[in-house]
Structure 1
């Protein structure tokens, strides 16, 4: 008898034990779960979810714009990688954690604010390939994706395809060695491999845009970069090193572009991203408050981070936290409310390694070796003739003074989870720094930006703590925000 195609081979009845049956069910359920995740990544959902609402924030007018100049809206957004979501980290957040729900809200939010240039962090590779790439293209954007090769998530730079062409890119791997110029002070050594990256795109103006704004013919285009800096409560030292590498690689990329283009026309230069540091921390100050001097709080945190010993068994790749829960299991957890939120990475060997418990001590006395490394880090940053100007620092106090903090006028937070909030995300203009100019205690004014052919005209408003409502209010949350970060956006005019 000929066996029909697709007919299962009969199983020996003696093998049909309860254990065998249970194992086959487990294998089948895992296969179905993998298939479901793959379908959802491609935008195919078994039961289409309605598009939920999100809080729409106003875009605040900083100063009037010029009618004859090109206005560009630049957005930075950590969209929370789906592969990093675990129910114990987000125990009260409900169904917004499902990609079938969250993907639609994220897309609706991006289309509502309609940036001309969009920089995303924590974008899952599978979601980019099967969802974001097509959706962005359908919405008028070209896009580029970059990730560390073992991570499931990475970075996206998207831009209006009618305005820009991207012919050149540059990639930053913070763990790789790079060459210094003979006159440049060297960084102190890296203490841990982080697997973090950044990248940059050179965007040329399309002829149709130059025809509309003829003065752009005297400009070469724009460099747009984005990054997601190392996250660990005691990671300030590594983040400060990474900021130096970011600026150094930008300088190198700009030098190469000038050679390729064969002229010295100016290039507008912006860097965005989740820097995982606040405005009073060494990484931020190293960019914006030059010449930087590590003292007080910044030095205490730096020294404390140098005293922390990372366990050799520590898994560096965040993707190990990838959730494997099925939707049925997620719904059960929603109903039971089980799980406890973790906002800090814990090291099971902390006691054995004699590690500090507070990453931000009020007082810390560094050892002689730590003092030397801190000074070396300071010298390296002050030896680099580039600095950064934060768009929110320059303009937010004008439009929302009650939410402009004492820390260089930055807003109070861009990241809001159940147990922590703070400002981690930035849109930065990169400009030359002449070492006779002191910005250590000086903020850039709107007028000073125009020296760099930039006019800041609008900023997307960020909420205050009171705006976040009663607890539990950790994000993401239905009808509020679809990520644990808030998108930020600046409208600037190219002069």
Structure 2
């Protein structure tokens, strides 16, 4: 009798399980049908806003132009479990159309792009069709790279160079990261007496690598200034303005950002940098973030769960002893550019406090994923720059349009693009 009862109960459970599975499959089919009926996603149109109380040129403006910075989210870095809300938006055929449509929507005169893969087969013909000329580069150990594109009707390229942070001798590294930078000198076609030296970079991603990020920032800005100074000497009839841009993987509270924008760093920031310098891998159990080391099995990873997928390396103790102190590193940064730098998007707090960070005025976010939401992307200009002023910026969208995380049907990348409009004189 007891056995019969057990068999009946087992049959009931199996029947219930089958019913639930059937219901689940039915719901999935209904969802798939609904998704097929949805129109193809299009990027949300964002608005430009004049910079409040902006600096004015001392002379009549000679011309205007615009610059975009945009981390595209390399397809080779995508891992679905780290983008749990994105669903079909992670598919390359869907996402690439969103990203290229966003690029085409704004038609910036200059674009600094990061995490660019599928360049030859996809982005190169797209950019050529839009009338851009471009320089693309990637580190041999990575499957994604950097790209600077420009409108040849507005600018003429005069010089191009790349920066490899692992091999730069300015100051000793604490990590082998395979991160790079680009530098391009562009002369304004209608007014060749004016030019810019624009830098595009994507710095090392580990949150704990504060010192290495400051080191890479220092090398990047020093390299830009070396090109600018050389051109100013070689072509004295042209005024050259430096503009560092990119994904610095640096939040507004990071010591690197302070070092770039302020005359000195705090004692607490110096202590953080020193800890990061002397023991660079000591805090690898920090909160999860996504890996940006594109390799043959490249995925965005949570480091403490899958550290073997991160190809960056700490250097040995002997090399660490050869590194300079944080204060010396900051001194090199300030010597390479005696004028401090201003983050153009720090005006966002005056435009829309709801989508801005208190204190710094920086956007509340430029990167919006399930694991991380903050500002990492910047456009810098010298604080006392007299020949070039930003006039408008592309504002952040309402936060509800990016929730719960990116990519989504409004935006094809996990980063917001930044765009500033400028006017210049000589």
Which TM-score tier does this pair reach, normalised by the shorter chain? 0.7 to 0.9
Tell me what 1:162 maps to. Answer: 153
1:117-157 CA distance string (max 9 Å, x none): 11100001xx1111111111111211110111221110010
Tell me what 1:418 maps to. Answer: 370
Tell me what 1:151 maps to. Answer: 142
Q: How far apart are 1:198 and its partner, in Å?
A: 0.2
Q: How far apart are 1:96 and its partner, in Å?
A: 1.2
Tell me what 2:89 maps to. Answer: 96
Q: How far apart are 1:172 and its partner, in Å?
A: 0.7
Are residues 342 and 92 of structure 1, via their aligned partners in 2, closer, same or farther at CA, if it must alter by over 3 Å? Answer: farther
1:19-43 CA distance string (max 9 Å, x none): xxxxxxxxxxxxxxxxxxxxxxxxx
Tell me what 1:474 maps to. Answer: 405
Report if aligned partners of 2:205, 2:249 keep a CA contact under 8 Å in 1. yes
In structure 2, how many angstroms separate the alpha carbons of the residues matched to 1:484 and 1:196?
20
Of 14, 17, 41, the residue aligned with 1:52 is 41
Instruction: Spell out the pairing of 1:239-258 with structure 2 (5 A cutoff).
Output: 239-258=213-232
Report if aligned partners of 2:156, 2:187 keep a CA contact under 8 Å in 1. yes
Q: How far apart are 1:277 and its partner, in Å?
A: 0.6
Report if aligned partners of 2:369, 2:405 keep a CA contact under 8 Å in 1. yes
1:329-357 CA distance string (max 9 Å, x none): xxxxxxxxxxxx955555769xxxxx9xx
Tell me what 1:198 maps to. Answer: 181
Tell me what 1:358 maps to. Answer: none
Tell me what 1:278 maps to. Answer: 251
Are residues 51 and 268 of structure 1, via their aligned partners in 2, closer, same or farther at CA, if it must alter by over 3 Å? Answer: farther
Report if aligned partners of 2:407, 2:414 keep a CA contact under 8 Å in 1. yes
Tell me what 1:43 maps to. Answer: none
Report if aligned partners of 1:303, 1:370 keep a CA contact under 8 Å in 2. no
Task: Report the secondary structure of 1:105's partner residue.
Answer: helix
Task: Report the secondary structure of 2:101's partner residue.
Answer: helix
1:271-296 CA distance string (max 9 Å, x none): 21000011121111111112x22423
Tell me what 1:319 maps to. Answer: 295
Q: TM-score, normalised by structure 1?
A: 0.67
In structure 1, how many angstroms separate the alpha carbons of the residues matched to 2:68 and 2:302?
25
Q: TM-score, normalised by structure 2?
A: 0.78
Q: How far apart are 1:386 and its partner, in Å?
A: 4.5
Tell me what 1:218 maps to. Answer: 193
Of 384, 396, 420, the residue aligned with 1:462 is 396
Q: Which runs of 5+ in 1 are unaligned?
A: 1-46, 180-186, 211-215, 324-340, 350-354, 356-368, 432-443
Q: Which runs of 5+ in 2 are unaligned?
A: 1-35, 284-290, 309-313, 315-320
In structure 1, how many angstroms separate the alpha carbons of the residues matched to 2:214 and 2:131?
36
Report if aligned partners of 2:161, 2:184 keep a CA contact under 8 Å in 1. yes
Q: How far apart are 1:258 and its partner, in Å?
A: 2.7
In structure 2, how many angstroms separate the alpha carbons of the residues matched to 1:398 and 1:316?
32
Report if aligned partners of 2:367, 2:416 keep a CA contact under 8 Å in 1. yes
Instruction: Spell out the pairing of 1:83-482 with structure 2 (5 A cutoff).
Output: 83-124=76-117, 127-178=118-169, 187=171, 189-206=172-189, 210=190, 216-219=191-194, 221-261=195-235, 263=236, 265-290=238-263, 292-296=264-268, 298-306=269-277, 307-309=279-281, 317-322=293-298, 343-344=302-303, 346=305, 373-384=325-336, 385-393=338-346, 395-429=347-381, 431=382, 451-463=385-397, 465-469=399-403, 473-477=404-408, 479-482=409-412
